[in-house]
Every structure is written in structure tokens, then in C-alpha cells.
A = this chain, B = another copy of it.
Amino acid sequence: MRISSKGEYGLRALLDLAQRVGEGPIQSHDIHLRQGIDENYLNQILILLRRAGLIESIRGPQGGHRLARPPSQITVLDALRALEGPLLTFDSGRDAPTPTDPMDRDLVREVWDGAREMLERYLASITLEDLCQRKAQRSGAMMYYI
């Protein structure tokens, strides 16, 4: 059970935008340079984020991308849902061989429903603003050493 790199890249792109709110549209090329994400792949990820309504894209020269909402209104869960689809799904669409004792299956699924609920609550509690603040605190602390 792994988290795809799409989730990581997309979240980092959002974080990159969140740190530059108010600077006008940010070009995907700049994100690529700062974050080291393949530019073509990054473009695909940005499309997912736009379709999910998390960012807005402006075409043409001087175009780019910006957050559609303030960083405090975008959670990590929003990002992951846009990028990876539903979290912790089981393959409900299997042929379902109608076991003699269907109760065990329900039991197992309840465990996972609980896990998913807990995970979603956690991810929904973290906003882009939180992460930016966390980062600012650290680079602030580093300033003392300069």
C-alpha cells in the first residue's frame, strides 16, 4: 500500500503556489525549476488540480497558475483526493464469490472504513497555510545562524 509520487508532486506544487500567493500567476516552468519535477509530468498534475477546482490557470504569455482559494481553505485531503482518487478503497467491484459466511467480510471492511475515516480526518486537518507556517518557522530559526 503505497502513496504514488503524483500525490507528493502535486502537493509540492500546491505548496509552491501557496508560498507565492499574490505574486500573480506562477508558471509551471518555474515550479519545475524549484521543485525538480519533470515539466511534462507536472503539467499533467496541474491539470488534475485545476479540474478539482484547487487552482486556476491563465493561458498565454505571462500566464501561469494560482490557487483558487486561500491556502487556509485548501487541505491536504483536498489535494490527495484530486490526485489519487479515493483513499484506502478496497476493490468492491470484484465478483464477490458469495462466501458461506459473509459476516467475516463485513467485519474486515468495517476495520478499513474506520481506518479510512481516521486518515481522512487527519489529512483534512492540515491546510496549505499550516504547512507554509511550519516552513517559515524553520527557515526563521535558521536565520540566527547566518
The reply on A138 being an interface residue by CB < 8 A is yes
Flag A74-94 by CB within 8 Å of B: 1 or 0 each: 001000100011111111001
Verify A36–B3 contact, CB threshold 8 A: no
Are A1 and B87 interface neighbours, CB within 8 A? yes
Would you give the shortest CB distance from A98 to chain B, in whole angstroms? 6
Q: How far is the CB of A90 from the nearest CB of chain B, in Å?
A: 5
Partner of A114 from B15, B101, B122 at Cβ < 8 Å: B122
**When the two chains form their complex, are residues B138 and A8 in contact, meaning their CB atoms are under 8 A apart?**
no
* A interface SS class: helix
Q: Which residues of B contact A89 (CB under 8 A)?
A: 1-3
Q: Are A111 and B139 in contact (CB under 8 A)?
A: no
A60 to chain B, nearest CB (A): 26
A90 adjacent to B3 (CB under 8 Å): yes
Do residues A111 and B131 form an inter-chain contact, with CB atoms below 8 A?
yes
**Across chains A and B, which 9 residue pairs bring their CB atoms closest together, nearest first?**
A36-B99, A36-B97, A2-B89, A12-B104, A35-B99, A3-B90, A34-B100, A15-B104, A11-B108
25 A-B pairs with C-beta separation under 8 A: A1-B80, A1-B86, A1-B87, A2-B89, A2-B90, A2-B91, A3-B88, A5-B91, A8-B109, A12-B104, A15-B108, A16-B101, A34-B99, A35-B105, A36-B97, A36-B98, A36-B99, A36-B100, A37-B99, A38-B97, A103-B135, A111-B123, A114-B122, A115-B119, A115-B123
